[in-house]
Structure 1
Amino acid sequence: MDVDANRQLRLSIFSCHRTGRRMTLDSAFLIALLAVFLRTSAMVLVSPLFVSTGVPTKVRVFFCAGLALALSPALAGQIPVPHDLYELVTLAAREVAFGLILGFLVQMVMLAAQVAGSFLDLSIGLGLASVLAPSQTLPTSVLARFKFFLALLLFLSLDGHHLLIQAMLAGYRVQPDLVGAGAMQMLLSGLWYMSLIALQIALPVTAVSLVVDATFGIMSRAVPQINILIAGLSGKMLLGIVALSLSLPTLAVGVNRSLESVQSLLRAWMGL
Structure 2
Amino acid sequence: MSLLALTDAQISTWVASFMLPLFRVGAVLMTMPIFGTTLVPKRIRLYFALAITVVITPGLPPMPQVSPLDLSGLLLIAEQILIGALLGFSLQLFFQAFVVAGQIISIQMGMGFASMVDPTNGVSAAVIGQFLTMLVTLLFLGMNGHLVVFEVLTESFTTLPVGSGMLVNHFWEMAGKMGWVLGAALLLVLPAITALLVVNIAFGIMTRAAPQLNIFSVGFPLTLVLGLVIFWVSLGDILNQYQPLATEALQLLRDMAQAR
Class of the TM-score when normalised by the shorter of the 2 chains: 0.7 to 0.9
1:45-64 → structure 2 map (5 Å cutoff): 45-52=30-37, 54-64=39-49
Tell me the residue number matched to 2:64.
81
Please give the TM-score of this superposition, normalised by the length of structure 1. 0.81
The answer to whether structure 1 residue 214 and structure 2 residue 217 are counterparts is no
Moved more, 260-269 or 209-218: 260-269
Is the 1:109–1:255 contact (alpha carbons within 8 Å) kept by the matching residues of 2?
A: no
The alpha-carbon deviation at position 236 of structure 1 amounts to 0.8
Please give the TM-score of this superposition, normalised by the length of structure 2. 0.85
The answer to whether structure 1 residue 4 and structure 2 residue 4 are counterparts is no
Aligned mates of 1:201, 1:225 — CA distance in 2? 37
Is the 2:152–2:259 contact (alpha carbons within 8 Å) kept by the matching residues of 1?
A: no
Aligned mates of 1:144, 1:169 — CA distance in 2? 32
Is the alpha carbon distance of 1:104 and 1:64 closer, same or farther for their aligned partners in structure 2, counting shifts above 3 Å?
same
Which residue of the other structure, out of 120, 125, 149, is the alignment partner of 2:105? 120
The alpha-carbon deviation at position 253 of structure 1 amounts to 3.1
Which residue identity is paired with 1:80?
A: M
Aligned mates of 1:134, 1:157 — CA distance in 2? 25
Count of matched residue pairs: 249
The alpha-carbon deviation at position 259 of structure 1 amounts to 2.4
Tell me the residue number matched to 1:145.
130
Aligned mates of 2:175, 2:246 — CA distance in 1? 14
The alpha-carbon deviation at position 240 of structure 1 amounts to 0.8
Which residue of the other structure, out of 205, 222, 225, is the alignment partner of 1:238? 225
1:57-95 residue CA offsets vs partner (Å, 9 max, x unmatched): 2221221122122222222xx132323333322321221
1:224-253 residue CA offsets vs partner (Å, 9 max, x unmatched): 232211211111111111111111244433
Aligned mates of 1:72, 1:209 — CA distance in 2? 53
Is the 1:109–1:258 contact (alpha carbons within 8 Å) kept by the matching residues of 2?
A: yes
Which residue identity is paired with 1:83?
A: V
The answer to whether structure 1 residue 181 and structure 2 residue 164 are counterparts is no
Is the alpha carbon distance of 1:249 and 1:102 closer, same or farther for their aligned partners in structure 2, counting shifts above 3 Å?
farther
Is the alpha carbon distance of 1:90 and 1:266 closer, same or farther for their aligned partners in structure 2, counting shifts above 3 Å?
same
Tell me the residue number matched to 1:20.
none
Which residue identity is paired with 2:240?
A: V
The alpha-carbon deviation at position 263 of structure 1 amounts to 3.2
Tell me the residue number matched to 1:16.
none
1:191-202 → structure 2 map (5 Å cutoff): 192-202=179-189
Moved more, 110-119 or 85-94: 85-94
The alpha-carbon deviation at position 124 of structure 1 amounts to 0.6
Higher relative contact order (CA 8 A, sep 6+): 2
The alpha-carbon deviation at position 223 of structure 1 amounts to 1.8
Structure 1 unaligned residues grouped into runs of 5+: 11-26
Aligned mates of 1:205, 1:266 — CA distance in 2? 30
The answer to whether structure 1 residue 168 and structure 2 residue 153 are counterparts is yes
Aligned mates of 1:46, 1:83 — CA distance in 2? 27
The answer to whether structure 1 residue 69 and structure 2 residue 54 are counterparts is yes
Aligned mates of 1:169, 1:203 — CA distance in 2? 37
Which residue identity is paired with 2:203?
A: F
Structure 2 unaligned residues grouped into runs of 5+: none
Structure whose CA Rg is larger: 1
Which residue identity is paired with 1:187?
A: A
Aligned mates of 2:126, 2:90 — CA distance in 1? 22
SS at match of 1:31: helix
Task: Indicate the percent of aligned positions where both proteins have the same amino acid.
Answer: 26
Moved more, 41-50 or 239-248: 41-50
1:121-156 residue CA offsets vs partner (Å, 9 max, x unmatched): 1011100223xx599984431111111111111111
Aligned residues: CA RMSD: 2.6
Aligned mates of 1:60, 1:172 — CA distance in 2? 20
